[in-house]
Amino acid sequence: MTQAYTQETRQLGDAPRRSGSRIGRLLDRLRNDRGIWRRGLVLAAIAVLLTLVMIFHADIPNRVGNLGSLLETFLPWLGLALPVLLVLGLVRRSASAVLALVLPVAVWLNLFGGLMFSDKSGSGGELTVVTHNVNAENADPAGTAEDVAGSGADVVALEELTGAAVPTYERALAGTYRYHTVQGTVGLWSKYPLSGTKPVDIKLGWTRALRTTVATPRGEVGVYVAHLPSVRVKFNAGFTAGQRDASAEALGQAISRERLRKVILLGDLNGTMNDRALAPVTAQMRSAQGAAGDGFGFSWPASFPMARIDQIMVRGVDPVAAWALPKTGSDHLPLAASVDY
């Protein structure tokens, strides 16, 4: 009787049982999946191609539609492909695709991780500057001027000024800035005296750049304000940037001849720091955002900023902080930076 009970109990206990964790069972299935390395080879190839594009972006030629400059303008946005490739690789259960993704992730972090994940901005600063493309079609120039004046900047550069709007800006800024100059479609307002003001020829046939000396309490600073020609993306012509590139060359030459050691460039350069076409300028100056900013500091378009085509660049001074100001009536965001000099 006892023996029969024991056998019956053992038979009941022999019912199949699930062993191990859910993750363990998943790993077991993956280990036994013979196609895990063969699937997703196309995704792996795309990841490798993305890596090569980011590494060798400077070698992509501009001969056809300025493709290289177009890519460099929006280069950080290639990072959006990374989570997409990851999800597709997981859906396909492809070890090849997921492993290959390590390459573009590492390169993207090397290029932009410092901007994306670190805040280099400090506090203080002996001089605060602002640049703003106010938009020729701005319906509220007075409000835009009040916003800019409220930033507390010592020096303000405005681009895309129209003859009709200049008096409005002059009236709105007069109470904060005693000194100002307007040359063509660009202007500078300052709390400190200006001298040696002159237009800068950037090969356009009309004035869209100026140079002046700002007599700050700690010495003279050469300040340039520039608005380089616009670029367009056209299906039949690609990235039309030839005129912008020629103006960048002329601006770079003018800055290289600057006699003052301390120099600040403010303006809408219609290009990012990654764009090789701006090398005549970027090769001799530092980006305030790159040196002391928080994040990418995109400035255009104001409704959904995708690129930093407005720039504050310095030579002979030390950026302390750089940031974007709130939206005004323009299609660009104003940018600010504080520096020690």
CATH number of the domain to which 303 belongs: 3.60.10.10
Q: Are residues 152 and 86 in the same domain?
A: no
Q: Are residues 335 and 190 in the same domain?
A: yes
Q: Are residues 56 and 145 in the same domain?
A: no
Rounded distance between C-alpha atoms, residue 274 and residue 272, angstroms: 5
Task: Give how many domains the chain has, as a whole number.
Answer: 2
Q: Are residues 111 and 143 in the same domain?
A: no
Rounded distance between C-alpha atoms, residue 170 and residue 172, angstroms: 6
**Three-state DSSP state, 54:** helix
Give pLDDT tens digits along the chain (341 positions): 445 444 444 454 454 555 567 776 656 665 666 778 888 999 999 999 999 999 999 898 877 767 888 888 899 999 999 999 999 999 998 999 999 999 999 999 999 988 777 777 788 899 999 999 999 999 999 999 999 999 999 999 999 999 999 999 999 999 999 999 999 999 999 999 999 999 999 999 999 999 999 999 999 999 999 999 987 665 554 456 678 899 999 999 999 999 999 999 999 999 999 999 999 999 999 999 999 998 899 999 999 999 999 999 999 999 999 999 999 999 999 999 999 98
Radius of gyration for the chain, computed over Cα atoms and rounded to the nearest angstrom = 28
Q: Which residues, in sequence order, are bridge partners of residue 181?
A: 188
Residue 213 tokens read as: 């000396």
In a domain, 171, yes or no: yes
The answer to whether the beta carbons of residues 320 and 122 sit under 8 Å apart is: yes
Q: Are residues 189 and 315 in the same domain?
A: yes
The answer to whether the beta carbons of residues 57 and 66 sit under 8 Å apart is: no
Q: Where are the beta strands (DSSP E) in 276-317?
A: 286-287, 310-315
Residue 170 tokens read as: 């002059």
The residue out of 117, 152, 185 marking a domain boundary is 117
Q: Are residues 222 and 262 in the same domain?
A: yes
Q: Are residues 104 and 138 in the same domain?
A: no
In a domain, 323, yes or no: yes
* Model pLDDT, residue 80: 95
In a domain, 142, yes or no: yes
Q: Are residues 163 and 207 in the same domain?
A: yes
In a domain, 10, yes or no: no
Helix axis angle for 141-149 and 166-174, nearest 10°, is 30
In a domain, 197, yes or no: yes
* Model pLDDT, residue 18: 52
In a domain, 3, yes or no: no
* Model pLDDT, residue 5: 46
* Model pLDDT, residue 307: 94
In a domain, 4, yes or no: no
Q: Which residues, in sequence order, are bridge partners of residue 121?
A: none
Q: Are residues 221 and 333 in the same domain?
A: yes
In a domain, 14, yes or no: no
Q: Are residues 52 and 188 in the same domain?
A: no
Q: Are residues 103 and 230 in the same domain?
A: no
Q: Which residue range is the domain that position 61 belongs to?
A: 22-117
Per 3-state DSSP, the chain is made up of helix, strand and coil in percentages (nearest 5) of: 40, 25, 35
Q: Are residues 109 and 191 in the same domain?
A: no
